[in-house]
Amino acid sequence: MPDGLFDGVLGRGRVGAAVGDRAWLQAMLDAEAALARARQLPAGQVEAIAAACRAELYDVAALGAQAAASGNPVVPLVEALRREVGGAAGGEVHRGATSQDILDTAAMLVARRALEPLGDDLRAAAEAAARLAREHRSTPMAGRTLLQQAVPTTFGLKAAGWMTALDAAGARLAAVPLAAQLGGPAGTLAPLGPAVLVRFSAGLGLAEPVLPWHTDRTRVADLAGGLGAACGTAAKAAGDVVLLSQTEVGEVREGLPGGSSSMPHKRNPVAAVSALGCARQAPGLVATLLASMEQEHERAAGAWHAEWRPLTSLLLATGSAAAWLRACLEGLEVDPARMRANLELPGGVPPAQRTPGATASAEALVDRALDRRARQPEADEADAQPS
């Protein structure tokens, strides 16, 4: 995916490489290598298997094609890996595991690796919003409801709203539990036993589940929910930028607006528009993943397969939305004079409400949000809970 025709727009940033076919393949191989270690095979066998667990040794397209016979790509991968390792060690590859153990564990590794740049970009976007909040704490602008001017606010408060939402989205994603999967053919952990699960999880740095979760997709749903909320948050901020960038409003401008060969006067807010193009793919993908939670018995007949692409697409869309929003906010140019001029438009905020103290309350809220952030930089939940 990361090198495709649409990836400049829809696969921005490092997340593309993290969710591409090669990344998935490496994650599956990482799971196989971790299994060999967790099973405490002889050191020579572990080394032989680990040495063969490098994605560049395998042909993605061939594995993909061979997957048709069994219905998943792990079966041909295990065959190829066994051949590559050879000998007695080759015979030990994958033993005790089932395809879904490897693929689900790989999915969690892919998610973790995608969440790194995604988290960085969300944090940087929040940081840019925080800077805007500080700098424009007292910059008056029209508060707008139903897209009509209402009463004054400050641009700092608008940016502070983006900031707290982005912080919450990042904290939510950071808290999503990513667990290893190991259960064997019917999820009973036979013949491996819990001790192998403990070592397997620890070796990969993933959470250790109480039970195999082949058909308990709570973790996938939780991840999907967090990604969907992050996209919604990015879309809210990007949408505001697009609206503020309108020719008739002109209160902000992207640092690197997109031009147009036929219309040289155009200054399109490309970063915000692209962020919206990415983020709006999320709700449908989340719905697919939630609908896929209904998985039969010990392993599902279709609902599991229906997760693979939506999960990949959702990680890519969210990561790309975050990267675009970061670019948008880090380069955002603000025009306080235009904000003030718009405040004085006929039909807008009534003169009686454009007093010097009109925005004092907004300014106090900016301080409140920045203070709270400074005190709880890693807070999962900034709301003060009822006692």
Chain residues 73-92 in contact with a copy of itself, contact rule CB under 8 A: 73, 75, 78
CA 231 to CA 286: how far, in whole Å? 11
Closer residue to a copy of itself, CB minimum distance, 90 or 239: 239
Q: Work out whether 165 is an interface residue with a copy of itself (CB under 8 A).
A: yes
Q: Which residue has the tokens 């603000």?
A: 334
Distances (CA, A) of 301 to 306, 318, 319, 335: 10, 28, 30, 56
- The answer to whether 232 touches 284, Cβ cutoff 8 Å, is no
Interaction mask 126-145, a copy of itself, x per CB under 8 A: ----------------xxxx
Closer residue to a copy of itself, CB minimum distance, 33 or 370: 370
Closer residue to a copy of itself, CB minimum distance, 47 or 367: 367
Of the candidates 17, 84, 135, 250, which one interacts with a copy of itself according to CB under 8 A? 250
- Residues with Cβ within 8 Å of 120's Cβ and at least 6 positions away in sequence, in order, are none
Stretch that binds a copy of itself, among 29-37, 40-48, 115-123, 180-188 (CB under 8 A): 180-188
Burial code of 326-358, b = ≥16 C-beta within 10 A, e = fewer? bbbbbebebbbebbeebbeeeebbeeeebeeeb
Of the candidates 68, 83, 87, 88, which one interacts with a copy of itself according to CB under 8 A? 68
- The answer to whether 143 touches 152, Cβ cutoff 8 Å, is yes
Of the candidates 12, 39, 136, 199, which one interacts with a copy of itself according to CB under 8 A? 12
Q: Work out whether 261 is an interface residue with a copy of itself (CB under 8 A).
A: yes
Pairing of strands 140-145, 252-253: unpaired
Q: Select which of 39, 113, 299, 326 is catalytic.
A: 299
Least spacing, CB of residue 48 vs a copy of itself, in Å: 20
Stretch that binds a copy of itself, among 35-43, 46-54, 123-131, 223-231 (CB under 8 A): 223-231
Closer residue to a copy of itself, CB minimum distance, 42 or 177: 177
CA 67 to CA 307: how far, in whole Å? 16
Q: Work out whether 232 is an interface residue with a copy of itself (CB under 8 A).
A: yes
Stretch that binds a copy of itself, among 19-27, 38-46, 83-91, 116-124 (CB under 8 A): 19-27
Helix (H, G, I), strand (E, B) or coil at 344: coil
Dihedral angle sign, alpha carbons of residues 376, 381, 382, 387: negative
Of the candidates 191, 255, 333, 344, which one interacts with a copy of itself according to CB under 8 A? 191
Is 260 one of the annotated active-site residues of the chain? Answer: yes
Closer residue to a copy of itself, CB minimum distance, 47 or 198: 198
Stretch that binds a copy of itself, among 30-38, 43-51, 121-129, 342-350 (CB under 8 A): 342-350
CA 222 to CA 172: how far, in whole Å? 10
Q: Work out whether 29 is an interface residue with a copy of itself (CB under 8 A).
A: no
Closer residue to a copy of itself, CB minimum distance, 47 or 135: 135
Least spacing, CB of residue 128 vs a copy of itself, in Å: 17
CA 152 to CA 134: how far, in whole Å? 18
Of the candidates 290, 330, 336, 340, which one interacts with a copy of itself according to CB under 8 A? 290
Is 299 one of the annotated active-site residues of the chain? Answer: yes
- The answer to whether 204 touches 34, Cβ cutoff 8 Å, is yes
Q: At what angle do helices 99-135 and 305-330 cross, to 10 degrees?
A: 20
Of the candidates 17, 66, 84, 123, which one interacts with a copy of itself according to CB under 8 A? 66
By CB atoms closer than 10 A (0-12, 13-18, 19+), residue 202 is: middle
Q: Work out whether 148 is an interface residue with a copy of itself (CB under 8 A).
A: yes
Active site residues: 260, 299
